[in-house]
Structure 1
Amino acid sequence: MKSAHPAARPFWLVLLFTCLLSLNAHAVDDDENIDEMDEVTPEELSYEDIPVDERIFLREWPKVPFNTAFFDYTPEQIEARWDEFMVGIRAPFPSADYLEYMISNYPEIVEGVEAFNGDFEDFSQKNIHVWRLFLRGDLQQAREEGMKLGVIGLYPAMFAQILQAIYLTERQSDKYMMLQDVANKVREHFHILERAEDDPIAAEIVAFTKLGYAYALARIAEESPVPVIVFRRYIGKIKGGAEEVVELIPDHPLGHAFRAGVDAGIMRRVGRATGRITYGARSTVVDESFGKAFEMAPDIPILNYEYANALIYMSRKRDLNQAYDYLARATRYTPAWSMDALDTMYAFKRLQEVRLFDEQYRSFRSFERQRRRFSRVTDRNLTNVMTAPLTMDMMEHPEKYALPPQEH
């Protein structure tokens, strides 16, 4: 990696100073002001996109912690239950008719794609197979097979990669690279989106694309130091993407939930006052958007645990009992496919984390700072569902839990 150019250093020092001024200007109480400055290096402020080491895609990825046969559906079952599976993310079904329309109007999506030979029915079956892999939890294979199918196959491939990064990757550094890779690959096709935004038939795939891009960046930003968030312009990219999703598809459940989660996440990191004044983040938007999402899709585990997180981010311990209820509800769903299963598992882990905060910390800010410090010292991905929840010993002695240096 390149280190920061000397000319860039005064900028990041000014940036830190600006953030500290914001801390003093908008402080209300211990839990209402901006985070104290996490440690940040000049190198982190020398690039806008995280450098991706391609070797992470050559290694065998950890498998899902359940039997994939539970969610292995035939192509006919997938088509029949498509609306049920996709009620949250609203991906379009890759039927032969849909693919013929998309390829006829946007031929760039199959440029250089050897798997497409002009037979739309055959191409449809190949795309459905990628979704079958994704639905049952063969995430690395879904990525590899989807990447062979051009833009249409890229989307299930990248969402499989997002799930792998968030829920199954051991290292935080690998998680960040995998999420950045998603953002990079999706961004390469933004020029197609500009042409397709006014096409009602293409609207779902455009919204799906914008959601994937913004969501990948949001999962990086949520644990990054505030100066890094500002320097890389995460908030504008994420907030803009979230708003575009619901503009394109007004009845998009996860679009509304994501839009709400963005505002809650801003309040988490900079407090209500700075969040409202600087970034337009409002608790009313959070409540209204989650309300819409629950009306459209009341039985999705991710909506429940994200709303629980939002309550904590906005109100700290004031609405903690309600947050407990939503987290517990998220753990009780019977999953229909891999994403639901992993969301449910993470909700259980997050529930243990919130109990630690409730029982051991008076200050949400202190809990968050120690949580981020643990991840930074150990390089452990705290959203990995296959590792133990945080304990006080882990929080107070992170060096004991540090992962060994990466072997390539």
Structure 2
Amino acid sequence: MSTWKAFPHPADAFDYDGDKLWKHWERLHAGDQEPWPEDDASREAWRAYHRGDFQNAVALGLKAETASGMNAANKAQSIYATYLVDDEDEKKELFEEVADRAEVATKEYPDSINAHYQHAYALGRYSQAISIAKALTQGLAGKCKASLDKTLSLADNHAEAHVALGAYHAEIIGKVGSMVGSLTYGVSKDASEAHYEKALELLPHSAIARVEYANGLLTLYGNKRIKDATKLYEEAAACEPMDAMEALDVAFAKSELSDD
């Protein structure tokens, strides 16, 4: 494995050594509902993830050989690929790896909330990388939706799954239109917005929920909702990050505003 890029922002505030991780766990995992890991190895993987040491988080998480360790590894690799990888082939390869590992994890740990969610997340990002049209042709949308539905059946307050479902509805409509989307895939604009709103209700401090909601509005309505989307980007840019992923979310929101 080649050396991954370093986390590009100050990370001192994201050091959750010792009992700091326990004290902040509920806030750090409000979005994904990951249970507190009972073993030291998995906790170390999550500490590495939260401070942005993504490559080490993957190594530690896989070494732990637990559901929580696997989830830490998969989330670290997915966030790294989402934000810090520019090469499209490398990005697709990283997401494929996560999707494959997570699929195995759903069978080995069927009650692990984030085994199912990470499977859906990686498939969704992979679909974006190859194009939504190709993903629909390959049947990836159905697999992604099934894993998101399973996630919510295990934890109906999983805000990140609601965000992903909002994007699922929006991106299919953006590609095939409302009528075909409704008849063929059962998607709708109302459902998309409802999932985004539910995510913000569950996770009011979230930058990424706002960013994805803004992206969804632009996909669904174009410039008709540009003011609403801009407001969401502005709110996201003003969020206070608690870990490396959130810092990358906020930085992305700021970059979207600077591009306008």
Give the TM-score range, shorter chain: over 0.9
CA contact (8 A) 2:33 2:155 kept: no
Of 42, 67, 74 in structure 2, the residue corresponding to residue 127 of structure 1 is 42
Task: Name the CA distance, whole Å, in 2 between partners of 1:189 and 1:279.
Answer: 27
Does the 8 Å CA contact 1:222/1:265 hold for their aligned counterparts? no
CA contact 1:75–1:129 (8 Å) conserved in 2: no
User: Could you tell me which residue of structure 2 aligns to residue 150 of structure 1?
Assistant: 65
Q: Does 1:165 align with 2:81?
A: yes
Which residue is 1:286 aligned to?
A: 192
Q: 1:77 aligns with which of 20, 23, 28?
A: 20
Which amino acid counterpart does residue 157 of structure 1 have in structure 2?
A: A
Are the equivalent residues in 1 in contact too, given 2:132–2:171 (CA < 8 A)?
Answer: no
Q: What's 2:130 paired with?
A: 224
Partner residue in 2 for 1:334: 240
Which residue of structure 1 lines up, in the alignment, with residue 117 of structure 2? 211
Instruction: Report the residue type matching 1:211 in the other structure.
Output: Y
Give the Cα–Cα distance (whole angstroms) in 1 for the partners of residues 229 and 4 of structure 2. Answer: 33
Q: 1:68: how far off?
A: 2.3
Deviation at 1:300, TM superposition (A): 0.7
Quick one: which of 188, 193, 196 aligns to 2:104? 188
TM-score for the superposition, normalised by structure 1? 0.61
Q: CA deviation at 1:146?
A: 1.2
Distance 1:236 1:351 in 2: 33
Report SS of the residue matched to 2:37.
Answer: coil
Are 2:78 and 2:122, in contact at CA under 8 Å, matched by a contact in 1? yes
Provide the rounded CA distance (Å) in 2 between the counterparts of 1:89 and 1:189. Answer: 16
Structure 1 Cα separation of the partners of residues 195 and 136 of structure 2 = 25
Alpha-carbon shift at residue 312 of structure 1 (Å)? 0.7
Q: For 2:149, which of 216, 232, 243 is the aligned residue?
A: 243
Q: Following TM superposition, by how much is the alpha carbon of 1:226 offset from its aligned partner in structure 2, in angstroms?
A: 5.0
Distance in 1 between the 2:167 and 2:151 partners?
Answer: 13
Q: Does the 8 A contact of 1:127 with 1:146 survive in 2?
A: yes
1:229 Cα offset (Å) = 1.4
1-side partners of 2:136 and 2:212: how far apart? 23
AA matched with 2:54: L
Q: Which structure shows the bigger proportion of residues in helix conformation?
A: 2
Report if the CA contact (8 A) 2:42-2:64 is conserved.
yes
Name stretches of at least 5 consecutive residues in structure 1 with no aligned partner: 1-57, 96-123, 197-205, 356-408
Distance 2:238 2:154 in 1: 32
What is the aligned residue count?
259
Q: Measure, in 2, the Cα distance between the counterparts of 1:273 and 1:193.
A: 38
Larger radius of gyration, structure 1 or 2? 1
Give how far 1:284 is off: 1.2
Deviation at 1:289, TM superposition (A): 1.6
Q: 1:276 to 1:94 in 2, by over 3 A?
A: same
Q: Quote the residue 2:223 is aligned against.
A: 317
Equivalents in 1 of 2:134, 2:161: separation in Å?
Answer: 25
Residues 313-368 of structure 1, C-alpha deviations (whole Å, 9 max, x = no match): 11111111100000111111111101100111112223345x2xxxxxxxxxxxxx
**Alpha-carbon shift at residue 59 of structure 1 (Å):** 0.8
Identical pairs, percent = 25
Structure 2: gaps spanning 5 or more residues: none
Q: Answer whether contact 1:75 1:132 (CA < 8 A) is retained.
A: no
Q: Quick one: which amino acid aligns to residue 82 of structure 1?
A: W
